Amino acid sequence: MSQASNMKANFGCFIVIFVCVCYASAEDESVDCTKPPRFIPLHMCCPVPDLSTEELMEQCAEFAKPPPPPPIGRGGPAKFEHSHHHPPHMRGLHPHPCLIECIFNKTEVIGENGEPDVDKFSALLDTTVKDNEEMAAIMEEAFEECTEKASELKAKIAEKISKYPEFAEKMANHRMQAACSPFGAMLMTCVNMETFKNCPASVWNDSTECNTVRDFINECKRV
């Protein structure tokens, strides 16, 4: 396996660290961080554009079909308000985790060295988000911020691997079992979240539920 593949695969055991956070307190006292709001699919509040094209979907056809959706709880699917211009993502609510990795590799957004390339991501936005310059600018800024977070996380992983042989062995086993690196999906999850937090008013679903979720995410401090 190449050094770049190893570098990207090392993120496998750290998805939770990157995308799951615990909220403790809020700067705005009107937001109660001890009571998270009811779950709403974020794309129903802020429809972040799909970064795929027909050509890319053909090149990544192996991962084009979504995996089975997670089971629905006793309460059934969440209900939410949405306007006519907030449809579900065209590729489905649960894209294959390897799809975005494939797209990023094909467009060189993730280079052969395993590092994200802001210029390549900007070029991808020029193709897929060309009809909304404001959204494209927000997504590009989000990508830059998430790239910095990824670099910090990568350094922590490398340090832990060097200190703990058992952890290094677990990472090696993960690399052998994984169908693809989770790095692309993790990076895009971060981009989607940062874009959600700064969603343009022109596409934001101005419902009570969506505003409550965004207030909670923006105001509650992460610990």
CA atoms of 99 and 62, how far apart (whole Å): 8
- Predicted confidence (pLDDT) per residue in 4-42, tens digit: 444 444 434 333 334 334 444 445 566 788 888 988 888
- Predicted confidence (pLDDT) per residue in 48-98, tens digit: 998 989 999 999 988 876 555 555 554 444 443 433 333 333 344 456 778
Contact 89, 192 (CB under 8 A): no
- Predicted confidence (pLDDT) per residue in 144-156, tens digit: 999 999 888 878 8
The model's confidence at residue 129, banded by pLDDT at 50, 70 and 90, is very high
* pLDDT score recorded for residue 9: 41
* pLDDT score recorded for residue 29: 60
The answer to whether residue 139 scores a pLDDT higher than 80 is yes
Name the nearest CA neighbour of 32 among 40, 23, 43, 19. 23
* pLDDT score recorded for residue 164: 77
| Among the ranges given (127-131, 144-148, 155-159), the one the predictor scored with the smallest mean pLDDT | 155-159
Name the nearest CA neighbour of 100 among 172, 169, 50, 44. 50
pTM recorded for the entire structure? 0.70
The model's confidence at residue 175, banded by pLDDT at 50, 70 and 90, is low
- Write down the domain spans for the chain: 3-64+89-222
* pLDDT score recorded for residue 14: 39
Q: Classify domain 3-64+89-222 at the CATH topology level.
A: Recoverin; domain 1 (1.10.238)
| The one-letter amino acid at 183 | F
- Predicted confidence (pLDDT) per residue in 179-207, tens digit: 788 888 889 999 999 999 999 999 999 99
* pLDDT score recorded for residue 152: 86
